[in-house]
Structure 1
């Protein structure tokens, strides 16, 4: 049995769908045209815009590509900007670094 979708995830997907719909309409692109450009079915585009959580992420990526905004997806979890991950890594750094005996650096 599949676990239920957390409410914040569902809300985020619904917002993404609404934002895709708005972006499409602002560009005067029909759902059918977007579907064709994405290589998807019309029903997939409709489901995306309704915020259907069962739509695979690659369709959202394809829509972003059509809108010229694929960089938004690339930057989602950019490790260089992962403050929490970097902080956790920094906490694991040794307090001191010592040369090992009998190594070229120690001589």
Structure 2
């Protein structure tokens, strides 16, 4: 079953593609050179820069790597900073923690 892509997702991918194109131009890198460095075809780079949602995410990651920005991908959903997830976990914590009874003779 094919679900339509939510508009915010489409916009975010389009913006990422546009940002990659801008970063490439600011570094004076041609699309051909970026494709070669990424191990991708020229058409993939062009589609990625246009925000084509069918371009696999690893190509976006490869572009970020070429630009020295791969840590941006690593931080996308950093679980140590996931405020919602951490709050939900904290809500499930027990109110009290009781010690388990020790067997006789144990320290």
TM class by smaller structure:
over 0.9
Q: TM-score, normalised by structure 1?
A: 0.94
Deviation digits for residues 47-93 of structure 1, max 9, x if unmatched? Answer: 00000000000000000000000000001111110000000000000
User: Which residue matches 1:53?
Assistant: 53
Question: Alignment RMSD, CA only?
Answer: 1.5
Runs of 4+ aligned structure 1 residues displaced above 6 Å come to none
The number of aligned residues is 106
Separation of aligned partners in 1, 2:103 and 2:90: 27
User: Which residue matches 1:41?
Assistant: 41
Instruction: Give the 3 Å change call, closer, same or farther, for CA 98–38 of structure 1 in structure 2.
Output: same
**Structure 1 unaligned residues grouped into runs of 5+:** none
Q: TM-score, normalised by structure 2?
A: 0.94
Separation of aligned partners in 2, 1:35 and 1:20: 12
Alignment of 1:87-98 (within 5 A): 87-98=87-98
